[in-house]
């Protein structure tokens, strides 16, 4: 027994467990994990110049396939050059992750404990993709098995009946703690709320059109956040950030069943200025990052401009949170415009998923396309000042739920509980090409590419390594020359439909 563990310690560091591929007739495949097996990607070993490491995942089937190459002393510029500009420095990276929704907890609980542990290790451990920044809903979302808040029942402005829900204890807190442990305490959380208690809202419902917060409840609603942080703090869970509320625009969408609180920019500005801002800054959570918006690119930059127009509100807000759902219609330049208007407010991508549109397949097992779209969106965001990218549900079932309002969508991990298995989708690997190799505290570097189908973004990591992520969206091999004047140049063949992370110290 002792000998076996010693061997694991000696060799485990560099030995990756391979993906167990399964093909569902899609343009890609999934990797199957269960209670005894899951593919891994061990931490990269440092290599000395002029060597570099390279990790590749592609449509044809590679998953974090590792190899090594060497720069040569040449500044050769070919017509297909990816250029890294190590002296051009941009924003700092805050992290990557997903959301601890109730549904994620339901699906984790549908597996036996060893399989649960494999799933959490896949996201959080150092032989997984090392998530560092996760979203925790305050109460229920559309990915719950019922609608609820923490103070249901009669009007209670002093929040005397505030209490956490059974969901917190069964579906969130135990997994949050395990995840935190797997990262060695490195995981940060931000909180996001969907709905207020019905009695706080003008329409007395969790969802529906024009469900604003009643003005006389503004202070109670700010106190509600502090109560939540108190209760989680009692459980040993501390928060790095909060957002003022998930997708205020939902309450302007006819027939939506998703819980929400409606905020016009003027109302939000008033509430943050007079209630949330002073309450948080005067609480034990005074250092928490306050983010506004948590909504689509469509709101940039005009909504933040209207909210932050007030000098006092401006002082309380640290960042602007954006969701991805209509990114395909809107230029990422809107992010840069927002950054240019408010250079002291960070931008963070706080929700994304595929399969949300009625005409789309909700769960699409093995879709390489969906993984590629994740990578594309991340690169566009980060090239336009976004400081991190946080996915939606970390695990859903085969249908894309549970969701009590049948709002089924896709997830990077799909659980098949009757088989005791879970499936790591191409989206998991796409996100992992960033989350694993670009730690919090990395700085984005300048980089340039030669065509739209080959996208690139580069970072300087806290350990001074350079990480370069390259997405080849072309359905063919693309030979490129990567040039970093501080190192030299190297030729790479980017395989068709591939994501590559290059690392050099
Ligand atoms: C788990 O997966 C591994 C690798 O595919 C396989 O060998 C093993 O039989 C599976 N275990 C169970 C309990 O299904
Ligand atoms: C993780 O859990 C183990 C076992 O309970 C404990 O010894 C260790 O201190 C924990 N690590 C962190 C960072 O919480
Ligand atoms: C903070 O709380 C103290 C004591 O309750 C109060 O006097 C002070 O005005 C508060 N400050 C702010 C910024 O709200
Ligand atoms: C889920 O597992 C069941 C039981 O093993 C199996 O019959 C079914 O085909 C699996 N579904 C998928 C999509 O793999
Ligand atoms: C990174 O480089 C800077 C400047 O050369 C140096 O001061 C710092 O100690 C380096 N950090 C590490 C972790 O090597
Ligand atoms: C790229 O592929 C071409 C054609 O197969 C081959 O000649 C060349 O050596 C490859 N280059 C590298 C860097 O692997």
Q: How far is the CA of 186 from the centre of ligand 2 (A)?
A: 12
User: Which residue CA neighbors atom 6 of ligand 5 most closely?
Assistant: 464
Q: Calculate ∠ Cα 366-371-375, nearest 5°.
A: 170
What is the reported pLDDT for 5?
A: 38
Residues touching ligand 1 (Cβ under 6 Å) are 20, 34-37
Burial class (CB in 10 A: 0-12, 13-18, 19+), 375: buried
CA of residue 415 to ligand 1 center, whole Å? 15
pLDDT given for residue 2 in this prediction: 39
Cis peptide before 301, with omega less than 30 degrees from 0? Answer: yes
Residues paired with 502 in a beta bridge: 54, 468
Question: What's the 343 CA to ligand 3 centre distance in angstroms?
Answer: 29
**What pLDDT is recorded for position 13?**
45
Whether 278 is in the pocket of ligand 3, judged by its Cβ within 6 Å, is: yes
pTM: 0.96
Residues 6+ apart with CB under 8 A from 277: 290, 312, 313, 315, 316, 317
Task: Indicate which residue's Cα is closest to atom 4 of ligand 5.
Answer: 464
What pLDDT does residue 14 have?
Answer: 57
Fold of 94-437: TIM Barrel (3.20.20)
Per-residue model confidence as pLDDT tens for the chain (505 residues)? 334 333 333 433 458 999 999 999 999 999 999 999 999 999 999 999 999 999 999 999 999 999 999 999 876 678 899 999 999 999 999 999 999 999 999 999 999 999 999 999 999 999 999 999 999 999 999 999 999 999 999 999 999 999 999 999 999 999 999 999 999 999 999 999 999 999 999 999 999 999 999 999 999 999 999 999 999 999 999 999 999 999 999 988 888 899 999 999 999 999 999 999 999 999 999 999 999 999 999 999 999 999 999 999 999 999 999 999 999 999 999 999 999 999 999 999 999 999 999 899 999 999 999 999 999 999 999 999 999 999 999 999 999 999 999 999 999 999 999 999 999 999 999 999 999 999 999 999 999 999 999 999 999 999 999 999 999 999 999 999 999 999 999 999 999 999 999 999 9
CA of 418 to the centre of ligand 4 (A): 7
Please check whether residue 444 is in contact with residue 90, taking contact to mean a CB–CB distance below 8 angstroms. yes
The CA-based angle 403-231-124, given to 5 degrees, is 60
Q: 31, 33, 34: which to mutate for ligand 1, most atoms within 8 A of CB?
A: 34
Catalytic: 205?
Answer: no
What pLDDT does residue 78 have? Answer: 84
pLDDT at position 9: 39
Q: Where in the chain is the domain with CATH 3.20.20.80?
A: 94-437
R_g of the chain, CA atoms, integer Å: 23
Contact of 415 with 125, CB cutoff 8 Å: no
Q: What is the pLDDT of residue 365?
A: 98
* Overall CATH class of domain 4-91+444-504: mainly beta
Residues of the chain with CATH 2.60.40.1180: 4-91+444-504
């Amino acid at each position: 027994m002792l000998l076996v563990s010693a061997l694991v310690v000696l060799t485990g560091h560099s030995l990756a467990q391979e993906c167990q591929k399964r093909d569902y007739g899609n343009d890609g495949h999934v990797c199957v994990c269960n209670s005894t097996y899951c593919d891994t990607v061990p931490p990269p070993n440092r290599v000395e110049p002029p060597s570099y490491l390279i990790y590749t995942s592609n449509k044809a089937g590679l998953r974090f396939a590792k190899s090594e190459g060497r720069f040569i002393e040449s500044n050769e510029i070919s017509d297909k050059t990816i250029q890294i500009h190590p002296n051009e420095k941009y924003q700092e990276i805050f992290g990557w992750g997903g959301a601890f929704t109730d549904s994620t907890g339901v699906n984790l609980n549908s597996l036996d404990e060893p399989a649960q542990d494999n799933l959490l290790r896949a996201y959080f451990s150092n032989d997984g993709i090392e998530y560092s920044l996760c979203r925790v809903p305050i109460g229920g979302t559309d990915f719950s098995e019922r609608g609820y808040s923490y103070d249901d029942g009669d009007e209670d402005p002093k929040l005397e009946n505030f209490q956490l829900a059974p969901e917190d204890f069964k579906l969130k807190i135990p997994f949050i703690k395990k995840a935190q442990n797997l990262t060695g305490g490195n995981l940060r959380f931000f909180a996001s709320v969907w709905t207020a208690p019905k009695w706080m809202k003008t329409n007395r419902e969790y969802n529906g059109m024009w469900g604003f917060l009643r003005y006389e409840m503004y202070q109670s609603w700010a106190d509600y956040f502090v109560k939540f942080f108190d209760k989680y703090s009692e459980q040993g869970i501390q928060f790095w950030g909060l957002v003022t509320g998930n997708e205020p625009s939902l309450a302007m969408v006819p027939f939506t069943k998703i819980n929400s609180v409606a905020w016009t920019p003027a109302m939000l500005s008033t509430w943050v200025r007079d209630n949330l801002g002073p309450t948080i800054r005067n609480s034990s959570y005074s250092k928490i990052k306050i983010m506004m918006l948590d909504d689509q690119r469509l709101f940039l930059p005009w909504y933040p401009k209207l909210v932050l127009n007030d000098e006092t509100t401006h002082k309380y807000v640290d960042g602007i949170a954006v969701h991805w759902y209509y990114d395909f219609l809107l230029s990422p330049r809107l992010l840069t415009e927002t950054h240019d208007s408010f250079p002291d407010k960070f931008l963070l991508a706080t929700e994304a998923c595929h399969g949300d549109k009625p005409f789309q397949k909700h769960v699409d097992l093995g879709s390489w396309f969906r993984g590629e779209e994740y990578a594309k969106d991340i690169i566009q965001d980060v090239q336009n000042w976004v400081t991190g990218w946080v996915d939606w549900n970390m695990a859903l079932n085969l249908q894309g739920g549970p969701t009590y309002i049948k709002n089924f969508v896709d997830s990077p991990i799909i659980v098949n509980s009757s088989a005791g298995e879970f499936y790591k989708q191409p989206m998991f690997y796409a996100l992992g090409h960033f989350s694993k190799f670009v730690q919090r505290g990395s700085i984005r570097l300048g980089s340039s590419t030669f065509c739209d189908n080959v996208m690139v973004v580069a970072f300087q990591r806290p350990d001074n390594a350079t990480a370069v992520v390259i997405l080849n969206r072309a359905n063919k091999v693309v030979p490129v020359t990567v040039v970093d004047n501080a190192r030299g140049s190297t030729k790479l063949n980017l395989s068709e439909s591939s994501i590559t992370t290059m690392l050099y110290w």
